[in-house]
Structure 1
Amino acid sequence: MFPQTATTAGIAGRQRRPSAIAGYEDWPGYAADNPYRPASKDARLLAGALGVPAVTPGTAITVDWEVEDNNVVTSRLSWQTGFGPGTSAWLLRPTSIAGPLPGLLALHCHGGIKSHGAERLVGIPAEAPRHDGGTTSRPGLGPLPPGLQAKLYGGRPLATWLARQGFAVLAHDAFMWGSRRFHLDPLPYRTAHWLDGQEALWREAGVVPSPAERYNAAAAAHEETVAKAATLLGSTIAGTVAHDDLTALGVLASLPGVDAGRLGCIGFSGGGGRAMVLAALSPQIRSYVVACMMTTFESLLPAYVDAHSWLLHSSGLPRLGGLPDLAARSTADAFLLQYGLRDELFPEDGMRDADARLLAAAPGRYSGSFWNEGHVFTPAMQEEAAAFLASHLMAEQPSTASARTAS
């Protein structure tokens, strides 16, 4: 479990400096020896800029449990990506539709919550085995922090709802989140020093944080350390997350009952950034939706650069252009970007400029919509997104898996 206190005195008493990447000691060797090499030049340039590790072929998938509830079959899956802790994921399928289904990856946001990952997108059936962010090899951190779905997703379990719209939906924990989180017991030195201050604030306010709250506070500080480690490996946080997303895409394409020729992805905030990267790396993505994750890099300076995590800030990405260039880089048939005019994380001029650039760069493929909303993915936005994806992924007869292949 996560340590109850973290003090500099405790640090001083240790005889050995703790690992700063605990749980991922095999990450350096894997990343150094296995770069991702897509077939297309554009995808290779992006993979090189982000330092994406290669995907291990033939991922073995375990079905941990499966429950049918309210016209949706929810299956909890697990697999090993090649380094670090194993991955937990949820597959959601409608019970009322037969035949191969179009597949969607539902990519969870950052949200400042790393104790849990894709669970924020899933309506866990009441009769399902209790899930608390843990795995069979490692205890969890309790239930999903309350209010997260309500605050960011309008109270709707997005992946479960999308399954009811006729998609086979896979939602997985990404690098740094949930089952793929770092082990922070004992705390690395720099993270422990930072948490000392937070612990003092909690004591002064009379707050007794939950294990998940304490972990998330430590993980926020630890993200700086993870970014440093990735830099030493010639990688980035976004590139390592992309490795996990490419692995999940391969899992989705391999599942029975999924049409591998009709795959898409959807994400809000950091999940939207993940969707753009994944679509630019893999030609298997035929359509995708990004909610509240688009601007120009120029607009982030000077006031908005501190509004975002290292998932957005990758040093090699500006050499290939900005976020609009990243979105247009994909070979997807069509993609939708949704903007929140009251989004506190992006200036309106940056969003407007990005929209204009995309209209010029990807005519006929790009659609944009502006909403009088903040940094949220409301049910109305979700309904527009689902209709957009359905129009591009459900309008055809089931295709063969060979229609598009992973590069």
Structure 2
Amino acid sequence: MSQFVRAAVVTGLLLLSVGTLRADNDSTLRVFPEGQRPDDRRLEPLKDLNGYFPFEVPESPAEWDDRAEELRRRVLVANGLWPMPPKTPLNAVIHGKVERDGFTVERVYFESQPGFYVTGMLFRPSEGEGPFPGVLSPHGHGGRLQDAGPDKVLQQIERGEEKFAASGRFPKLARCAQLARMGCVTFIYDMIGYADNTQLSYELAHRFAKQRPEMEDPENWGLYSTQAELRMQSIFGLQTWNSIRALDFLCSLPDVDASRIGVTGGSGGGTQTIVLCAIDPRPVVAFPQGMVSTAMQGGCTCENCSLLRVGTGNVELTALFAPRPQAMTAANDWTKEMMTKGYPQLQQLYRMLGHPEKVDCDAYLHFPHNYNYVTRAHMYDWFNEYLGLGLEEPIVEEDYELLSSEEMAVWNDEHPAPKARGEAFERQLLSQMTEQSDAQIASLLPEDQKSVEQYREIVGGAFETIFGRTIDGVGTVERENIAKVDRGDYWFFKDVLTVPAHGEQLPVVSVYPKSVDWSGRVVVWLTGQGKAGLFDDAGEPVDAVRTLLERGDSVVTADLFGQGEFASSPDEFAQNRKVENPREYAGYTYTYNNPLFSQRVHDVLTLLKWVDADDHGTEGVTLVGTGEAGLIVATAAPLSGKTVDAVAVETGGFRFATLDSFRDRRFVPGVVKYGDLPALLGLAAPRELLVVGDAEEIPAAVETCYSATDRSKLTWAANANDATARIVDWLAGD
């Protein structure tokens, strides 16, 4: 029996639950005092990239394993890489060998996916016998060819940041040259939009600021569009995929020992290092520089993608590499507090995992943001130890004869740059990615119970990440009763539900039959108007609710976040909020925050967790959603575990793919990639399911999931004229 039912008079006994009950004649639906909103953390300003992102270390290795699995899935889903796409031939070309003292340099290009090229430079030891360790070196926003210039490098030398006037001008190439001299095959590759990787422009990848209506075509869209966001297509994801394929290239070289791979990059390259090492098991040592911080998380569009840091941050993402060895330094930038905020938690984790010596952070707070000579020296010693190079320390970086512009250029007359570029290529690339992804997800549609489990693991798992919570993640739900009213033939309750783990509150209204025996069934019914949708202007239940009461059912409803008592004005939650960043990129908001739709799904799960709180007689819980809440209920159902026996939803034929703005209150990143609303409906199986007002033809995801479990539990009522009446009839078994 649920907590709200226990507050009623049952067989003459008054059963009290949490809170103080009082009988009154209040006929209004308002739970909180007039003018007071729920004490809910979600009403606070949104989090942005400049927030605070602490890492709370779990209490045991087992708890960390669970958390790490959850986080890795988040990173993969956010990057559009869950499940991992098939890897196509690289068709790698290595050319233009140049010799220097102790190392050679070659230019490289390959296809990370058909027609999309990764470009870079390959540094190899000129002496010794391989196979050699390999080092992958992503770069940040200075670019592979970053040149400080002759004047600035002299200033850096005076401050102790660099040592050599020649090689110090090109700090990214300096580290590659030194690593090659140390005996490592080192590949530095261009970030999208830099140097020779210009099929997608620098302005698009790193300076995007204004939405492009012409790239919102639902059949032929571009990056940063609503359609791209609905499919987890982003510059961040493309760069992560390029990093994975760059590692494929490096490991495929005959002179590389694929069991000894290191990864290091600074600033934006540090972000790429963190993410690659979080999801790829091949690197054995890492040096993510300049971005391991509890403060600013990365300001560029290329460092943010929807879902990535919801409930987490760069320090915890860095921790996913544990217990493999990694090191970094702090500087006078957003990493300046690492020695007290971030690094102690990494040390705590490594100690707990039995390897305290395998994490290190040194503070060079007299330097600004950098990957300078001093920091590089720290990295050389770290890689020397953990790549087994056996060199005498300290390792001293040496100068080298600079490369000419021609010697650094990947494209030339013999190797011309690809002609496919610009907006036409952008559209074609995303279309190609969509076709591949759609086919991959379609191949998962179940045929039997075994494949249903696989579908739940991959597609259902993606939805768990996308919507940000399951019933098990709700935590404890505390109830405070505000009112209990005897209304003659039924009891009327007002309650406040509080979820301490998430700082959330929910105003709840419920009715319980008094003139007839309780049937044992609880109907949790949500509407697009909040709790007001089930009551008339006088505060009396509408006919549908009265019918359920007369049959002995109890009914629970609530204002979901942004409805009713949450809103200070009718238009306050008419659309999704966004952070104050003036650049019109959804990722600046949804990298760090759940959208409104997901928050409302969380509230449904809170209600279900409360109703399911004990086992004093409830014989079944039915979840109902009408109006816009039908979509929310359809989403909550597969996330509800075993708390719900039956689900009834009015969909209106809606599909997330029809949305044309990330400000739409129904917008959720990634939901279309995994099958849209039909996939969510299918994942409700094997619960009893009624779908009202959808298309005539049952979508494949729904049909296959129910056919593989129990087809008799699916009722499809496409043309019901009165959705509410059809739902009530279905609840009665008609």
Q: Using a 3 Å threshold, how does the CA distance of structure 1 residues 178 and 294 change in structure 2: closer, same or farther?
A: same
Is contact 2:134-2:262 (8 Å) kept?
yes
- Give how far 1:331 is off: 5.1
2:73 is the counterpart of 1:44? yes
- Give how far 1:395 is off: 5.3
Q: Using a 3 Å threshold, how does the CA distance of structure 1 residues 148 and 256 change in structure 2: closer, same or farther?
A: farther
- Give how far 1:361 is off: 2.3
Q: Using a 3 Å threshold, how does the CA distance of structure 1 residues 107 and 351 change in structure 2: closer, same or farther?
A: farther
Aligned to 1:348: 336
- State the Cα deviation string for residues 235-281 of structure 1 (Å, max 9, x = none): 33322211000000000000011000000111111101111111111
- Give how far 1:366 is off: 1.8
Give the Cα–Cα distance (whole angstroms) in 1 for the partners of residues 191 and 150 of structure 2: 21
Partner secondary structure for residue 99 of structure 1: coil
Give the Cα–Cα distance (whole angstroms) in 2 for the partners of residues 169 and 239 of structure 1: 23
Is contact 1:55-1:247 (8 Å) kept?
no
Root mean square deviation, CA, Å: 3.0
Give the Cα–Cα distance (whole angstroms) in 2 for the partners of residues 69 and 174 of structure 1: 25
Is contact 1:295-1:351 (8 Å) kept?
no
Aligned to 1:390: 384
Give the Cα–Cα distance (whole angstroms) in 1 for the partners of residues 145 and 210 of structure 2: 24
Aligned to 2:111: 80
Is contact 1:286-1:331 (8 Å) kept?
no
Aligned to 1:237: 235
- From 177, 187, 193, the equivalent of 1:176 is 193
Q: Which amino acid aligns with 1:45?
A: R
- From 252, 255, 260, the equivalent of 2:253 is 255
Larger gyration radius, structure 1 or structure 2: 2
- From 336, 355, 360, the equivalent of 2:348 is 360
Q: Using a 3 Å threshold, how does the CA distance of structure 1 residues 218 and 284 change in structure 2: closer, same or farther?
A: closer
Partner secondary structure for residue 104 of structure 1: strand
Aligned to 1:287: 285
Q: Which amino acid aligns with 1:256?
A: P
Is contact 1:86-1:179 (8 Å) kept?
no
- Give aligned-pair identity as a percent: 22
Aligned to 1:71: 102
Is contact 1:73-1:94 (8 Å) kept?
yes
Aligned to 1:369: 362
Q: Using a 3 Å threshold, how does the CA distance of structure 1 residues 308 and 166 change in structure 2: closer, same or farther?
A: same
- State the Cα deviation string for residues 311-335 of structure 1 (Å, max 9, x = none): 3333312235211110111256200
Partner secondary structure for residue 260 of structure 1: strand
Give the Cα–Cα distance (whole angstroms) in 2 for the partners of residues 358 and 224 of structure 1: 38
Is contact 2:291-2:335 (8 Å) kept?
no
- State the Cα deviation string for residues 210-249 of structure 1 (Å, max 9, x = none): xxxxxx6786533666862452431333222110000000
Q: Which 5+ residue runs of structure 2 have no aligned equivalent?
A: 1-68, 163-167, 212-221, 391-734
Is contact 1:262-1:286 (8 Å) kept?
yes
Bigger Cα displacement from structure 2, 243-252 vs 325-334: 325-334
- Give how far 1:146 is off: 4.7
- Give how far 1:55 is off: 5.7
TM-score of the aligned structures, taking structure 1 as reference length? 0.63
Q: Which 5+ residue runs of structure 1 have no aligned equivalent?
A: 1-39, 112-116, 121-143, 185-215, 397-407
Partner secondary structure for residue 74 of structure 2: helix
Give the Cα–Cα distance (whole angstroms) in 2 for the partners of residues 352 and 362 of structure 1: 16
Aligned to 1:105: 136
Higher percent of residues as helix = 1
- Give how far 1:149 is off: 9.6
TM-score of the aligned structures, taking structure 2 as reference length? 0.36
2:207 is the counterpart of 1:221? yes
- Give how far 1:286 is off: 0.4
* Deviating 4+ runs (over 6 angstroms): none
Q: Which amino acid aligns with 1:243?
A: W
Is contact 2:293-2:314 (8 Å) kept?
yes
